[in-house]
Amino acid sequence: MNSKKLANILFSTELKSVEYYQNLYKPRQLKDASIVTRFAPSPTGFLHFGGLFTSFVANRVAKQSDGKYILRIEDTDKKREVEGGVDHIVQGLKDFDIKFDEKVGQGDYGPYRQSERKEIYMSFAKHLVEQGKAYPCFCSTDQLLKDRQNQEKQKTLLGYYGHYARCRNLSYEEIEQKINEGEKYAIRLKVDSTPDKKVTVKDAIRGELKLSDNYIDVVILKSDFLPPYNFAHVVDDTLMRVNLVVRGDEYIPSIAEHLQIFKALELRPIKYAHVAPIQKMDGESKRKISKRKDPEAAVSFYYKAGYPSLSVMEYILTIANSNFEDWRMANKNAPITDFKVDLKKMGVSGALFDFAKLNDVSKNVISKFTAQKVYEDCLKWSKKYDKELANLLEEYKEFSISMLNIEREQKRPRQDIEKWADVKPLHSYFYDKLLNPTKKQHYEFDYENFNYEDIKAIMGAYLNSYNKEDDKQTWFSKIKQIAPLVGYADDMKAYKANPSEYKGHYGNVSTIIRIILTGRTKTPDLYEICKLLGKESMRKRVVTALEILG
């Protein structure tokens, strides 16, 4: 068969040559060790946490090598494409500060949407047909299904191969007739291999992998002349001069067919790094995080909950490299970009998702933020997810910043905020509009140890002695002076020596003050709280509390 003649009737448009595109997209002028990689999501749903994980790792590997990081949209599967899917993915990545050197509308190696690269794929497919390495397949979906059912019945290997490859040996005349009759066709790669043959590939994470070779004549262009992933990946990553593909390990079985396409096109294979999936415990067994079962599978979950992007990135690094936590201990305030991600230190079995660990990481991250940053980030989040909090933060801006700064900008800052959704419940007692006690249960008293008359006497004495100009030591000494007035010890040694002689000690007095003013037994520094509330606000709270408790 005249392969060039066949190529010309299959591809009627005037296509540019493979050489044209190879010259158009020239090698990048980068250092020898620079890594060029990409994130290539399909707009078929929300951005998955596993996608964020893979994207972040790829981003760090590229950036730390002075390479390039590309966003390419794989939108050739129009049947599964979700409206707004691209926007969801891009926004999800943006929310977590994943930045790209090249993307739609930015870069010299585009287009960055596969649906806009159709002629490029057709040119490469035509080149294979011209060389007798690919052919048209006219088999209908029904015919392919029947063949598969026969294969299952006969318990033989599944796929389009051997005598099941019905169109592989069609004559030129048969092909021409089918085209003239308007039959649709796909383009398949002509594969000469067997399933017992093995191929070896070196993975940047997993080391050497030995895989069964592909024996199926795989489709490289569908009937709409758009490619499936296998062909698009080879063409796009070659022309975009990608030299490392970081992707999920579900693609490992596809490596053999990718290598066959590289070989057929006489292109140099690209290196791979296959990332293990994020898992979680389900009873006593492990499973992949599921889009259907687990809300935390969606990246939007973290933004809605109010986790700062930096918290999620730090948590991802604890999953990505086991040595990150030791590095963080030794470099407490260093930016995460100082840490070098090592693909060889990534696990191959899949890390377990751990909410407790995420929360611990996030608490530590937020504790290092200035009050101004906490305020700004929380306000930005609350404008979208908690209007009431947003209104309070804006109405009482300086008050709120001072509130958030209690025990913050110091050597050992408080670590109580895990995410922005925690800010209102943790700080509600600061705002009179949120503090609306109506029942005794509002006050966390152990009523067996505290009685109303003592509470009333303590709060009266406290308000009378309070002076906003007092330093912390003077303020605390006044609390100790109140203690003996109501039968409490002002000396801890004396109390411990004869506890039965006292109702309690000065620490219990400060606890009573704390509960009356905030409703809680545990809060940040009480001195700072009182200073921020002011004497008039404290007086109103005392009056309300005594009315409820009396």
- How far from the centroid of its chain's Cα atoms is residue 49's Cα? 4
Confidence of residue 392 (pLDDT cuts 50, 70, 90): very high
The topology (CATH level 3) of 3-15+120-275 is Rossmann fold (3.40.50)
State in words which class domain 440-549 has.
Answer: mainly alpha
Mean of pLDDT values over 536-542: 96
Distance CA 320, CA 351 (A): 8
The pLDDT mean for the chain works out to 93
| DSSP state letter for 310 | H
Q: How far is CA 481 from CA 51, 402, 514, in A?
A: 61, 29, 17
pLDDT for 84 = 75
For tokens 């003013």, the residue is 517
Please confirm whether the linkage preceding 277 is cis (ω < 30° from 0).
no
For residues 75 and 273, the answer to whether their CB atoms sit within 8 Å is no
DSSP per residue, 335-401:
-GGGS---GGGS-SS-PBP-HHHHHHHHHHHHHTS-HHHHHHHHHHHHHHH-HHHHHHHHHTHHHHH
Mean of pLDDT values over 218-225: 96
pLDDT for 88 = 79
Distance CA 344, CA 475 (A): 57
Digit-coded pLDDT (tens) for 77-133? 777 777 777 777 888 888 888 889 999 889 999 999 999 999 999 999 999 999 999
What angle in degrees, to the nearest 10, is found between the helix axes of 172-180 and 3-10?
A: 10
CATH for 282-367, options being 1.10.1160.10, 3.40.50.12780, 2.30.40.10, 3.40.50.40? 1.10.1160.10
Please report, for the chain, the start and end positions of each structural domain, with discontinuous segments joined by +: 3-15+120-275, 282-367, 371-426, 440-549
The proportion of the chain whose per-residue pLDDT surpasses 70, expressed as a percent, equals 100
Q: How many CB atoms lie within 10 A of CB 436?
A: 9
Digit-coded pLDDT (tens) for 292-346? 888 888 888 999 999 999 999 999 999 999 899 999 999 999 999 999 999 999 9
End-to-end CA distance of the chain: 102
Most distant CA atoms of the chain, gap in Å: 111
Q: Residues 119, 125, 129, CA angle at the centre, nearest 5°?
A: 135
| DSSP state letter for 52 | H
For residues 457 and 516, the answer to whether their CB atoms sit within 8 Å is no
Read off the pTM.
Answer: 0.88
